[in-house]
């Protein structure tokens, strides 16, 4: 009986920690992104509020809380109110299954460094990640605004297109780990990170991820030039802040997932002896991956919508199917003949297929250029 309520307490404390970590993570991600973007654009970025501008997120939050909240006259009030919540909640609860460490002993009991350890963790991730799009679509629809509507529709179409490639790159790491449990996936990577075994899979995952969280160069739903602000055109004040929060929390979470699936999760030197180093390693990996996202945003222009679609269906999906097939075949042959050579054939053949894809894209672009001329 006693263990029962302490278990509940442990879960509760861990959930609160994860939620708070995500909320402050969101605040400081905005700061991080603004500073990094500014440096890339040879500027300084926010540096006034507090040392290095570290209090800037707090100032932003205060501003957003005190802003007026408008609801358009002909909006669907109930859905308009709930859409930001529907967007925000999945972006927080998705973090529940991500392991940010193994376990350690304190106060006479072992405490695990993850909220939930479910054996189909990857499926949980997939399902929750796609729920968030409902909030965006409903926001676009309930605003009673053409731009918002188009933004919402674009978002859902984009999600559906890239969900497949994302799912298949999840599958590659499931095959490599032979488990859907995220903790197992991390444990298997003790010998070798999956990014080495399946580099093309990691690249596909990365591209699909950018599309899933609506980041540049796939930030179609909020293309300012075309849609003013996309699905959140009509939102202001704290409701807008919730969308903003959801977007940035999704960025953090998806980087944590990428780190878990392909970059060894919480693993790092000495993590066996000091399990509390796990969260630190995960944080470092997440920060590096987030920099990648910011870097891409600072570099590449937004891709046109029809090209986004054809890239998703004609390049990403076949390529990820091929990668899945190669990985599965390699693992199968390796287990049948017990020859490590088959295992190492996976990255080699994958890279060859990736190069072949690039060649096909190049020929297609050439052909189109000829037709235009």
Partner 1 sequence: MSVLDPVVELVRGLGTTLKMMFERPVTIQYPEQKREVRQRFRGRHVLKRYENGLEKCIGCSLCAAACPADAIFVEASENTDENRFSPGERYASTYEINMLRCIFCGYCEDACPTEAIVLGDNYELSFYDRRSAIYTKEMLLEPVPAQDMTTPQKVEANKFTRSVPEMKDPTD
Q: Which residues bind partner 1 (CB under 8 A)?
A: 36, 38-44, 295-296, 298-300, 355, 358-359, 361-362, 365
| Closer residue to partner 1 (CB): 146 or 314 | 314
| Closer residue to partner 1 (CB): 59 or 277 | 59
Q: Which residues neighbour 277 within 8 Å (Cβ) at sequence distance 6 or greater?
A: 101, 268, 270, 271
Read off the tokens for 308.
């986004």
Q: How far is the CB of 41 from partner 1 (least distance, A)?
A: 7
Q: Which residues neighbour 88 within 8 Å (Cβ) at sequence distance 6 or greater?
A: 135, 242, 243, 245, 246, 249
Q: How far is the CB of 330 from partner 1 (least distance, A)?
A: 24
Q: How far is the CB of 200 from partner 1 (least distance, A)?
A: 12
Q: How far is the CB of 267 from partner 1 (least distance, A)?
A: 27
Structural contact between residues 224 and 171, judged by C-beta atoms closer than 8 angstroms: no
Structural contact between residues 87 and 135, judged by C-beta atoms closer than 8 angstroms: yes
Long-range pairs for 240-243 at CB < 8 Å and ≥24 separation?
240/64, 240/84, 241/61, 241/64, 241/65, 242/84, 242/85, 242/87, 242/88, 243/84, 243/87, 243/88, 243/139
| Closer residue to partner 1 (CB): 23 or 359 | 359
Cα(246)–Cα(252) distance, rounded to whole angstroms?
10
Q: How far is the CB of 361 from partner 1 (least distance, A)?
A: 5
| Closer residue to partner 1 (CB): 35 or 239 | 35
Q: How far is the CB of 296 from partner 1 (least distance, A)?
A: 8
| Closer residue to partner 1 (CB): 54 or 126 | 54
Using alpha carbons, select from 46, 68, 69 the residue that is nearest to residue 59: 46
Using alpha carbons, select from 152, 156, 113, 135 the residue that is nearest to residue 233: 152
| Closer residue to partner 1 (CB): 150 or 255 | 255
Q: How far is the CB of 43 from partner 1 (least distance, A)?
A: 5
Q: How far is CA 202 from each of CA 52, 172, 359, rounded to the nearest angstrom?
A: 34, 9, 19
| Closer residue to partner 1 (CB): 46 or 135 | 46
């Amino acid at each position: 009986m006693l263990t029962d309520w302490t278990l509940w307490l442990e879960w509760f404390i861990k959930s609160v920690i994860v939620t708070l970590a995500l909320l402050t993570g969101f605040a400081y991600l905005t700061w991080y992104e603004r500073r990094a973007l500014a440096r890339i654009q040879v500027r300084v970025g926010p540096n006034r509020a507090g040392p290095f501008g570290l209090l800037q997120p707090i100032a932003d939050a205060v501003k957003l809380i005190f802003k007026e909240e408008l609801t358009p006259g002909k909006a669907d009030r109930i859905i308009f109110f709930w859409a930001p919540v529907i967007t925000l909640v999945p972006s927080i609860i998705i973090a529940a299954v991500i392991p940010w460490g193994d376990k350690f002993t304190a106060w006479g009991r072992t405490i695990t460094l993850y909220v939930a350890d479910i054996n189909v963790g990857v499926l949980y991730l997939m399902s929750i990640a796609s729920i968030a799009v409902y909030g965006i679509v409903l926001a676009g629809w309930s605003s009673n605004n053409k731009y918002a509507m188009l933004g919402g529709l674009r978002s859902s179409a984009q999600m559906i297109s890239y969900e497949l490639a994302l799912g298949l790159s999840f599958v590659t790491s499931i095959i490599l780990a032979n488990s859907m449990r995220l903790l197992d996936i991390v444990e298997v990577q003790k010998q070798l990170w999956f990014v080495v075994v399946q580099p093309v899979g990691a690249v596909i995952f990365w591209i699909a991820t950018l599309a899933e969280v609506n980041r540049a160069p796939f930030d179609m739903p909020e293309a300012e030039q075309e849609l003013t602000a996309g699905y959140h055109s009509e939102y202001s004040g704290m409701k807008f802040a919730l969308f903003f929060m959801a977007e940035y929390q999704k960025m953090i979470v998806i980087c944590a997932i990428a780190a878990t699936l392909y970059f060894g999760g919480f693993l790092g030197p000495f993590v066996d002896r000091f399990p509390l180093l796990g969260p630190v390693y995960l944080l470092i990996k997440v920060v590096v991956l987030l920099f990648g996202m910011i870097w891409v945003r600072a570099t590449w222009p937004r891709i046109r919508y029809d090209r986004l679609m054809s890239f998703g269906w004609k390049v990403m999906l076949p390529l990820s199917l091929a990668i899945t097939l190669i990985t599965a075949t390699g693992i199968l042959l390796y287990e049948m003949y017990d020859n490590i050579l088959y295992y190492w054939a996976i990255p080699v053949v994958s890279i060859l297929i990736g190069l072949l894809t690039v060649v096909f894209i190049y020929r297609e672009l050439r052909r189109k250029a000829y037709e235009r001329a």
